[in-house]
Every structure is written in C-alpha cells, then in structure tokens.
Amino acid sequence: MFKLHFLLLFFAFKIAISLSARPYVTRISCGAQNDVRSVPTSTLWHKDFGYTGGIRKNANTTSFITPRLNTLRYFPLSEGPENCYNINKVPHGRYSVRIYFGLVAEPSFDDEPLFDVSIEGTLVYSLPPGWSNHDDEHAFVQTLVFLDNGTASLCFHSTGHGDPAILAIEILQVDDKAYYSGPGFGRRTIFRTSQRLSCGDRNSKFDVDYDGDLWGGDRFWSSIMTFGQNSDKPISTKSTIKSASVAPNFYPQALYQTALVSTDNEPDLMYTIDVDPNKNYSVWLHFAEIDPLVTDVGQRVIDISINGDIEFPGVDIVKMAGGVNSALVLNKTVAVSGRTLTITLHPTTGTHAIISAIEIFEVITAESKTSPEEVKALQSLNLALGLPRRFGWNGDPCFPQQHPWSGVDCQFDRSSNKWVIDGLGLDNQGLRGFLPDDISRLHHLQSINLSGNNIRGPIPSTVGTITSLEKLDLSYNYFNGSIPESLGELTSLLTLNLNGNLLSGKIPATLGGRLLHRASFNFTDNAGLCGIPGLPTCGPHLTVGAKIGIGFGACVAVVVIATCITCWWKRRQNILRAKRIAARDAPYAKKRTHFNHIQMSRHNHHGQHHENNTRTAVENGPPLLT
C-alpha cells in the first residue's frame, strides 16, 4: 500500500516536472476541419478555431518553408476590414508568434493580397508587394511578444489590396527573458524578425530540424553561403559546441558548427540588409571558434561595427567564450535612420574574420489598449444596433492606431490614463436596432451621430449621464416616446438634432432653455413635441391623480349639463303647452288675472286676509307659472 502511494506520488511529481518543463504550444491550421500533422516533422496542427469570421478555402502555399497544409482562411471585405484570431487560455509569458500567409487556390483569386498584421493591437508587419514570389521568409511574419492577458489577439487589417488570407498560426512559448537586450527592454518590447541567418549552412532550417530545444521557439534560419563574391567561404566542424543551448535563448548547437570566414582577398566580412528607415533594430551576432587555424586566446581579434560605428571593439572569441568550440552571443540595439543596415567584422589581430549566425529584429514598442470597460460597451452597442458584418468590429477599437474600428473615434484620457472612445459616427448605415441603456458606459463621448438609420424605441435616459456630450444627432430614425428629462443635464451640449423621429411630449425645460440661448437644435418632424417657441405649446403638466380628477370632473360636468338641458327642454315644452292652452282658454285666464287684481286691491285694504288669498292665487298659479 505504502509502496503504491509512493509510486503514484513519484509519477505525479514526474508529470508535474515534465509539464512545467514543456513550453505552451498552439498551432492552428487555418481553414482545417480536422487536426492535421505536417510532414516531415509530424508536427500537430489543430483544426481551425478562434477566428472572428472569414471563409475557409483550399490553399496554394508560396514557399518551401511553409508547412504542408492544404487549407487557409481568408477574410473578404464584406466581413469587415478588421479580422482576428483570438486564442484564449494562453498562459501569461513571452511567446514566439508566427503567422504564415497563403494564396487562395482558385484562379479568380489571382492577386497577391497585401494587408497589415497586428498582435495585441500593435501593428507588427505590412506585407510587401511581391511577397508571394519570394521563396523564403516572406511567407510568414515572426515576432517575440509578451502575452499578458490570457488571450492572444492576432488581427489582419485590409488595406484595399485583396483579402487577407492566413494559412497557419503558431504560438510558441519561450523563456520569459528570451532575447533580453538590456535596459530599456520591457514587457512592451516586441521583436519582429527581419533576418535570421545561419552562416555556412547549405540548407535553411527550423530549430526542430537542428533538433533544437523546444524553448527556442522553433526559429527559422535562412541559409547563407556567402556575403559577397569570393570574399568569404563556409567552414564547418563536427565537434561538440559548448554553451550553445542555454537559457534564455536555447540556440541549437548545430548553428555554431558552421560559419563563414573571410578570405585573403578581403579580410573584412560585411553583411548588408535593406531595412525601414527611422526604426530601432536589435542585432544578435553568434560566434564559435571552429576554425582549426585558431586555437588560443589572442590569435583572432575582431572589431565589429554596425552602420560604421564600432559597437563591439576587440572581440576575441576564444577569450570571451572560454575556449574554442564554445558559443558566444553578442547583442546590440541600434537606431537606423537610413534604408540599410550593414554589419562589418574587421580583424585587428589575425587576418580573417569569422561569424556563425546573425539575427536582426525590428524593435517595436507595444501600443496601449482601449479601456476594457469601453470595449465592452462598444460590443453591447454592436449587438443592440445590429451592426452589419461589414463593420468587422474585431480586435481593439482604437489599435493599431492605423486601423481603428470604423465609426469610432479614440482619445487618450489623461485623467484615467486610458484610451477611451470620444466619438461615434454611425450615420446613414442602415442600422435597425435600438439604442441600449449602457451606451452611457461610453462616458467620454463628445459626439454621437446616428442620423439616418432605422433605430427604434426610446432615447435611453442614461444618455443624460454622458456629461461630456457636445453633439447628439439622432435625426431621421424611429425614436419614439418622450425626450428624457435627463438630457437637460447635458451642460456641454452644443448640437441636438432629434428631427425626423416619432417623439412626442414636452421638451425638458432645462434643455429647451439652454438650447435657445447658445446651442443649435432641431426638433421638427416628430409625432408631437411641444414646449419651445416654434413648436406647439404644451397642455398643463398633469399627474395621474390630476388626470383622474379631471376625468371625474368632466363626467360630473357632462351629467350636470345633460340635466340642465333636460330641464330647459321640459320647461320650454311646458311654456309651449301653456301658450297653447292660453290660446284656447283665454277668458279663464283673463278672469284669473282679474281675480288676482281684485285680491291685490283687497289686500291693500284688508291686510288680514291678504296672505291666504295671495297664497291661493299662487297655489292656483302653477298652470300659469310653471
């Protein structure tokens, strides 16, 4: 029993160790419906996942170094200008991210697409014209980045030259300190591989072909057999190389078993590549003294300059590496203003220079990100308004700065130290949804233009909390209900266009007052707005109780009026009848009048009987009086 436990524990421990010792690896075969393994290395590529849209197609690969995969995913402009792969659950760390490009294998797609690639919101690469005609490293972009947030967001931005088409993606974890280049290097430092050369090796290779360490990130090394005509020659050794595969970069030892050395014709070794001007480049130079002619310290000393400046004076490889057949890596970051970068190795002791490998990276500083709160609010707006796919709101709304989401304006907010949305311009886009309450989470908005859509429902009262709002144009939609009272709290408002909707009711007094004084507004063409000059005046503002009261009062009034009319009508009928009777029976009536008259005179003389007689006369009167 104890033994079994011990064994289990032991295995658990071993598994834990081997797990922690393996870097995180994800490879995606874009457009693939099943996992595939590529020859000759039997590398596993997952079936397609994590994409924001696009269409799967058969692929035409352009280079011998692209993995043998048959499918790709392409992103037509109808799916929006910004499309991404968002790969979740990527442990926080430093990664080598490689994206392979492909061509759609259909004659109608004969154009080579040119587009921009961003990683975590930072533009890292623009495909150069002619990339698909090159046979080598133009088939992919490779970068070293920190991934902080559990997600790798790789986006492809249309530039109007064809639809981005992605063949495969590799996300390979490397050491957290990989390619640490000294002070100034930080979590926002991105290295994009410009060139990676294995000198004197006949074939281009990946780390895996060199049987290199997994933590190396499976770099691709281009073969270079000469830097120029007869100025140098390749050499190689089968001896073991010491200190090659060590942290943080784990170079394959075979990289140092070949080299280029200069010849008697030309003692200097000189290598030049074309670069983009006004950028910083990180240059990594690899050496191992494998030349049998050099056996000890002091026999070969080299000055190394980059674009004419001596960056590494007096490099004695044997001395610095601690012996022959031992690896030495030097790195330097240089600012380049021109279009070329030239590395010169000039021997000061001995007659020849030597070099095993060269790596050149463009140094890119990672961009910021939009405040996550605002991103969420935009996503909810996207759903509520039913934005068409062609908007392609994918990736970060504000980044890369060259490719913000369409209809979204961004600004750096100094008070919160974050990038925020300050404008929404979605006018005349055929939107059919409603305006959600949480539009107010975009509380840095200064301008909203949703004019000329088919947006329905009420204007959310939360709009009144976007205090920085200066322009609100909701004209020509189907907004109904009344204008929320809260809009009166928008003290910065300069323009308010609500014309051409189905709004009704009173314009909030605070709002009306201010607009009349200093802002421009338009309330025309609505279902029935009132309350400011130019619009109808409003009835008194009534509470429910008041309305009930008025209703009740109105009923009472109706009853009273009906009663009065009935009475009046009856009386009128009686008068008419009386007149008819009078006309028929005139002597009687006259006699009565006469009689009254007699009574009256009697009364004047004999007060005692007066009342009785008068009463009698009155009591007899009704036929006359009523």
Ligand X SMILES: *[C@@H]1O[C@H](CO)[C@@H](O)[C@H](O)[C@H]1NC(C)=O
The reply on whether position 457 binds ligand X by CB under 6 A is: yes
Treating both helix axes as pointing N-terminal to C-terminal, what angle do 586-605 and 544-584 enclose, rounded to 10 degrees?
A: 100
- Does residue 149 bind ligand X (CB under 6 A)? yes
> Which CB sits closer to ligand X, 42 or 337?
337
* Residue 297 C-beta: closest distance to ligand X, Å: 21
In the complex, what is the shortest distance from the CB of residue 302 to ligand X, in angstroms, rounded to a whole number?
Answer: 17
Which phi and psi angles does 264 have, rounded to 5°?
-65, -25
Among 60, 305, 446, 465, which residue interacts with ligand X (rule: CB under 6 A)? 60
DSSP string, 291-341: -TT--STTS-EEEEEETTEEEEEEE-HHHHHTSTTBEEEEEEEEEE-SSEE
User: Cβ(544)–Cβ(567) under 8 Å?
Assistant: no
Question: Which residues from 182-201 bind ligand X, rule CB under 6 A?
Answer: 182, 184
How far apart are CB 284 and ligand X at their closest, in Å?
A: 8
Q: Minimum distance from CB of 541 to ligand X (Å)?
A: 17
Taking CB under 6 A as the criterion, the residue among 173, 195, 198, 449 binding ligand X is 449
DSSP symbols for 357-389: EEEEEEEEEPP--B-HHHHHHHHHHHHHHT--G
| Count of residues in contact with ligand X, rule CB under 6 A | 36
525 in contact with ligand X (CB under 6 A): yes
Sign of CA dihedral 126, 129, 133, 136: negative
Nearer to ligand X, 434 or 595 (CB): 434
Q: Provide, rounded to whole angstroms, the least separation between the CB of residue 244 and ligand X.
A: 13
Q: Which of 76, 93, 323, 452 binds ligand X (CB under 6 A)?
A: 452
Nearer to ligand X by C-beta: 109 or 595? 109
Residue 358 has φ and ψ, to the nearest 5°, of -135, 135
User: What's the order of all strands across the beta sheet hosting 408-413?
Assistant: 408-413, 418-425, 447-449, 471-473, 495-497, 520-522
Residues 304-333, interacting with ligand X (CB under 6 A): 329, 331
Instruction: Rule CB under 6 A: choose which of 56, 233, 279, 602 binds ligand X.
Output: 279
Residue 227's nearest CA partner among 259, 193, 194 is 259
CB 453, min distance to ligand X, A: 10
Q: Cα(402)–Cα(188) distance, rounded to whole angstroms? A: 18
Determine, following the binding rule CB under 6 A, whether residue 212 of this chain makes contact with ligand X.
no
| Contact between 481 and ligand X per CB under 6 A | yes
List the structure tokens of 277.
Answer: 């001007």
Count other C-beta atoms under 10 Å from residue 437's C-beta: 14
Among residues 66, 126, 159, 181, which is the contact residue for ligand X, using CB under 6 A? Answer: 181
Question: Is residue 54 a contact point for ligand X (CB under 6 A)?
Answer: no
**Does position 427 bind ligand X by CB under 6 A?**
yes
Sequence-ordered list of residues with C-beta below 8 angstroms from that of 24, at least 6 positions apart, any chain: 90, 91, 93, 95, 171, 172, 173
Site of interaction with ligand X (CB under 6 A): 60, 105, 148-149, 180-182, 184, 248-249, 278-280, 329, 331, 335, 369, 372, 427-428, 449, 451-452, 456-457, 471, 473, 480-481, 495, 497, 499-500, 522, 524-525
